[in-house]
Amino acid sequence: MPNIAFIPIRSGSKSIPNKNIKEFCGKPLVQWVTEAALDSNLVDKIVIATDKDYRNLLKKMLESLYPTKKVEVYIREKRNSRDGSYTEDVILEWIGRFFDDPEQSKDNFILLQATNPFITS
pTM over 0.85: yes
Amino acid at 29: L
Instruction: Please state the φ and ψ torsions of residue 45, each to the nearest 5 degrees.
Output: -150, 140
Provide the mean pLDDT of the chain.
Answer: 85
Please state the domain extents for the chain: 3-111
Q: What is the pLDDT of residue 68?
A: 66
Strand order in the sheet with 71-75: 71-75, 45-50, 3-8, 108-111
Spell 50-79 as b/e; 16+ CB within 10 A means b: bbeebeebbeebbeeebeeeebebbebeee
Decide if domain 3-111 falls under CATH 3.90.550.10. Answer: yes
pLDDT in tens, 42-91: 999 999 998 877 877 777 777 777 666 788 889 998 888 887 888 899 99
